[in-house]
Structure 1
Amino acid sequence: MSGDIEDRAAEAARVPEGADPNRPNAARVYNYLLGGKDNYEVDQLLAHQMLAVAPDTRTTAWFSRRFLLHAVEMAARAGVRQFVDIGAGIPISPNVHEVAQGIEPDARVVAVDYDPVVHVHANALLVSSPGVTSMLGDIRQPDLIIERLRSEQLIDFDRPVAILIVGVLHYVMDDEDPAGIIARLRDELVPGSYLAFTHGSDDTHKDFIERSSDSTAGSSSQPRYRTEKEVTRLLDGFETLGPGVVPVQDWLDEDLPGTNLVLLGGIGRKS
C-alpha cells in the first residue's frame, strides 16, 4: 500500500500545478539555452550543470530548434496547412506559425503545453497572432488533446495535419507508453499527414546522462534516454523521410559537428 502511495506521489510531482522557482522546468531550461528570458535561477543552474559536462549543449538546443522549423517548412511545402505543436514551450521567434504562415498565410497552428505557466506565456505572446491557438494539454493524455482539437474545431482531422513533438518524448517514462501515445495520434491522421519528433539518445555522453538524471529526478525535467532502435519504433506506421532517425544536425547539414548531448530527430509521412 505504501508503495502505491509513493508511486502516486511521484507521479503527482511530475505534473506541474504552477510556477515553482525551486524546481527546474524543461521548457524554461530550453528557453534559457536559446537565449530567452522566461526562466528562473534554478533553470539557469541546471543549464550550467549541463554545460559544464557538455559545453556544446547550447549548440544542440539550436540544432533542435532548426530541426523543428525545417520539419514545419517541409510539411508546409508539401501542402499541410494544420500544425499541432505538442510541448511547444515558451514562444521564441522564429516560431512555428511564422514559418508555416510564411509559406501559406492561412496556416493554422495549435501550440500545446502541459505547464500552466508556459501556457500563460504562450497566451500573452501569441494572442495577437491570427490562426494561432495556445492550448493546455498533456502529451500523456492524447485522447483529451484530440477531443479538444475536435470539439473546439481547432483542427480538421479530415485533412492532413503535421504533429510536432520536439524536445518532449524523452520526458515520457516507459510506463507512460510513448509508443502508444504516438500510435494514438497516428491513428487519427489522414494520409499526407506528418509526424516530426526529437528524442534524447543513450549515445549521449555518459556523464551528461548521469548528471541530468540525478539533477532532475522526480521533476517534470527527468529524462529517459533511449536507444536508436527504441526511438525508430516511434515511426511505425509512417513512411520514414530524409536520412531517417539520426542526430538532428544531420537533417540540417552534413558538415555540422556531433555533440555530447545526442538528440535524434525523425520525420515521417502517413501514406
Structure 2
Amino acid sequence: MPFADFTLWKYLASIVDILLVWYVIYKLMMVIRGTKAVQLLKGIFVILLVRIVSEFLGLKTLSWMMEQAITWGFLAIIIIFQPELRRALEQLGRGKFFSRSSSPDDEDPEKAMAAIIKATDYMAKRRIGALISIERETGMSDYIETGIHLDSRISSELLINIFIPNTPLHDGAVIIQKNNVAAAACYLPLSESPFISKELGTRHRAALGISEVTDSVTVVVSEETGGISLTKNGELHRDLKSDEFKELLSNELLNNNKIKQASSARWNWRGKKNG
C-alpha cells in the first residue's frame, strides 16, 4: 500500500472513530434525558469547574478535596447512575440503542389543561380519589417506569376512567409528560416532612413528596372530602375552589409555557437576524 493511501486511511479511520464516539455520547444523553441524572450530571460539571479554578488560584485544600472527589467519583457514578446504566444496557440488548429516536409532536397545552380541570371537577363532585402529576423541567422517567405505560393522548374521559374505584389502574398516580398520559398506577415518593397534617393521607404525602424532589405540579382529589389540592416546590395548596384551582394551574402551566415560548422565539429571531 502506498504511503499516501495509508495516511488517507488513517485520516478516514480517525474521522469515523470521532463520529462513533460522538454518536454514543449523544445516545447516552438521550438515555438520561428526562431523569434526575441530568441534575447530578450538572453537579459533576460544577465539581470539575471548582477543581480547575482552585488549581488556578492556588487553593490547595479545596483543590485536594476536589481531587479526592474526582478520584473516587468513578465508583460514585456507577452507584448514582445505576438506573440509567441499566436502561442503556437494556436498550442495547433490544437493539434500540442505535435506533433512531422519534418524538411525537406535543399536543396543545391549553387542551391538556382543560382536560385535567374537567376531569378533576368531575371526580371532586363524586369524591373519586385521584393523583395526577405533571412533568415540567425535571424528568420523571424513573417514576414512569414504576407504573403501567400508556403514552396516550390526554382527555378528561381517560383520566376519569383511570381513577374509577376498583379498576386495575386506579391505585397510584397518573404522570403526564409532554401533554400526554405517559403512565398510570405509578409509585411516587412519600414526603417525610414532620409538619404534614395528620389529616392528610397517602395521596397528599405522595404529591408533596414528588414536589420536593422535582419541579412537577401535582393535583390531588380527596376520596373522603372531594377537596382539590395542588402541590408544587414542596408547597401544598389545600381545599381549592374551582376558580382558585383553575387560576393556580393556569399560572403554573400555561404562563410558564408562554414564557419559554417567548424566550425561544426571541432566540430564533436573533439567530435569523444575525444569520
TM-score, normalised to structure 2, is 0.22
Structure 1 length-normalised TM: 0.22
Greater relative contact order (Cα 8 A, min sep 6): structure 1 or 2?
A: 1
* Greater radius of gyration (CA): 2
User: Higher helix fraction: Structure 1 or Structure 2?
Assistant: 2
